[in-house]
Amino acid sequence: MRMSEGVEWGLHCCVMLHWLEDQWPAPTARLAAQFELPPEYLKKRLQTLVRAGILESIPGAQGGYQLARPPDRITLMDVVAAMDGREDAFRCTEIRQRGAGVEANPAELKRPCGISTAMRRAELAWRRELAATTLADVIAETPAPARRRALAFYERLGR
């Protein structure tokens, strides 16, 4: 599966926002600088997360972003679906019914083919894993030195 870079950006920003919860809201410019990302593009990605109810946007000169709910209530699937949509990665177009398949017995084509079945099973496993993993799980697995480095860098950026 190939996901957009917005998924990675969104997840990293969500982790950072959790770490900054006592300093909310976090301005887009500082989040962008934290990861050396283009601010306008990041703003669009963060607004996508706002529309999905993952982040809250606080307007004004002292505004920015904060998590809309606790990290244990945000799954990786929530972020992936917000950024990349909920469409299936594999789309069966029934090419088996073309060419030589035109002559197939209709009874053979009533059930999905083995390829379609296997791809759907794999996608379901992928989606289940993402839905079972929360932002809190990811945060818990992040080494403490990485958190300290990120927060120190963020502080050096100033407001």
Residue 99 has pLDDT above 80, yes or no: yes
Bridge partners (DSSP) listed for residue 64: 58
d(CA 47, CA 57): 8
Task: Delineate the domains of the chain, giving CATH numbers in brackets.
Answer: 5-88+135-157 (1.10.10.10)
Instruction: Tell me which of 66 and 2 has the higher pLDDT.
Output: 66
Q: Tell me the C-alpha to C-alpha distance, in Å, between residue 3 and each of 18, 64, 67, 94, 153.
A: 23, 26, 22, 25, 27
pLDDT higher than threshold 90 for residue 2: no
The predicted pLDDT at position 140 comes to 97
Q: Which pLDDT belongs to residue 159? A: 53
Mean pLDDT over residues 21-45, rounded? 95
Averaged confidence pLDDT in the chain: 93
pLDDT band at 127 (very low <50, low <70, confident <90, very high): very high
Q: How confident is the model at residue 76 (pLDDT cuts 50, 70, 90)?
A: very high
